[in-house]
Structure 1
Amino acid sequence: MKSNILAWLHEGNITIPALLFSEYRNLNLNETELVLLLNILTFIEKGNEFPTPEELSARMTVSISDCNEMLRRLIQRGYIEIIDQYSHDGIRFEKYSVKPLWEKLIDQFMINNKATKEIDKQAEETNLYTCFEKEFGRPLSPFECESLGMWMDDDHHDPVIIKAALREAVMSGKLNFRYIDRILFEWKKNGIKTIEQAKNHGRKFRQKQMQKVNVKDDVHHPAVPFYNWLEQ
């Protein structure tokens, strides 16, 4: 019993990126090709860097000739490559490299990541237009839609910051695009790029306004209300 467990442990383990299993179809690999690549990786892990079609076929349900043909196709399509190396004694030998496979997998990951970000961006923009139309109580005009697009594409304002400027305009009772544009201009000039920075800037501005009121009036007046317009 113990010898069986030791033999099992002696076989070792191999680490495969989970992304390979979720993306092999998008890499235009079929299941048989995937298993062939996994077997190549296993052989390499155990020190056999150039397994023969016979050795690979023995682990699979495909013939030696089919295995040989798959290897040829995988090399032609740029998933694996055969590289020449030399031993310390100057003896030339060949080995498989799966570096091209990992490069393709990284490229696919970046494509997926870019697509996800694009979807998120589109959702944010759609939500932004909805917020503006809700506050204005009407559909936006073509000019207003163009202004929103310019804030995002030309001025590179984050949709979250634009929403914050909208709330500031609502709280100030000056709900118009010119006023919102002025807020965004001032924030950009002051290097404000995050919600927290905008919140702090708004707090400091209102504190200054309150101080001006206190200095100007000798008689006690109710304090200027403080609006935490960025908090939900």
Structure 2
Amino acid sequence: MSKTSMLKWLQEGNITIPGVLLSNYKEMNLNEHELVLILHVISFIEKGNAFPTPVQLSSSMTISVSECTAILRRLIQKGYIEIKDSYSTDGIRYEQYHLEPLWEKLIDYFLLKEKQEAARVNGQSETDLYTCFEQEFGRPLSPFECETLALWMDDDHHDPHIIKAALRESVISGKLNFRYIDRILFEWKKNGIKTIEQAKSYGKKFRQNQQQQRLKPNESQVQQTKSIPFYNWLEQ
């Protein structure tokens, strides 16, 4: 390949195609002809021609001018492309294709998919949470207990993983009941416990303190540490 040919190849330039567009154009109600036409519009714009004609566009594709015109009209009707008036420095009005509507729809679609995935994961976590409680209690939960679980998540905004940690803490303490778990969650929230690691550390220090109190039953009040208060969950 000659140097001149290489220069021509480089001058053709490159276009950046969002991966989410290629992955989801079908779900966005676009077909292959519409997608390729959009890519050619992007290419023309990046080369300085913001309003390529159907003739110019069809010459780069395998469709006729009339088909290209029909697809352009359809893309405008669907709200993926719009035509706007612009003005040159000397006041001459001209028209341009704008793809902002496409990018906005792409962003909305991407955010919607993320929201749906988060809802799916949360739904699965909630299902796992109910199953986990029933396994530990060795029986189906009562309607009141199910409502309590829902309140912990919906009203108190406890993460399912934190609720599971409180359940494990109640098992370790030998006090497997909803009142005890509710008290644990209350104390954790009051003390800013938001992660599994923090919950484990807090529970470990609580049990160490309880053990120390059992080993020194006759001593008067021990000076309390100010870093982390210790509670008998049910007696507060």
TM-score between both structures, scaled by the size of structure 2: 0.88
- What residue ranges of structure 2 are gaps of 5+ in the alignment? 220-236
Q: Which residue of 2 aligns with 1:24?
A: 25
- What residue ranges of structure 1 are gaps of 5+ in the alignment? 219-232
Which shows bigger deviation, 204-213 or 33-42?
A: 204-213
Alignment of 1:19-168 (within 5 A): 19-168=20-169
Q: CA RMSD in A?
A: 1.5
SS in 2 for 1:28: coil
**Aligned amino acid, residue 77 of structure 2:** Q
**Aligned amino acid, residue 105 of structure 1:** L
Give the whole-Å Cα distance in 2 for the aligned partners of 1:111 and 1:48. 33
SS in 1 for 2:86: strand
**Aligned amino acid, residue 88 of structure 2:** S
**Aligned amino acid, residue 75 of structure 1:** I
Aligned residue-pair number:
218
SS in 1 for 2:94: strand
The structure, 1 or 2, with the larger RCO (C-alpha pairs under 8 Å, 6+ apart) is 1
State the identity %: 66
Q: Which residue of 2 aligns with 1:185?
A: 186
Which shows bigger deviation, 162-171 or 77-86?
A: 77-86
Runs of 4+ that moved beyond 4 A: none
Give the whole-Å Cα distance in 1 for the aligned partners of 2:89 and 2:5. 37
TM-score between both structures, scaled by the size of structure 1: 0.89
Deviation at residue 215 of structure 1 after TM alignment = 4.3
Deviations 1:105-159 (A, max 9, x none): 0011011001100110011011111111111111111221111111111111100
**Aligned amino acid, residue 129 of structure 1:** Y
Give the whole-Å Cα distance in 1 for the aligned partners of 2:144 and 2:214. 38
Give the whole-Å Cα distance in 1 for the aligned partners of 2:175 and 2:145. 15
**Aligned amino acid, residue 19 of structure 1:** V
Give the whole-Å Cα distance in 2 for the aligned partners of 1:192 and 1:52. 62
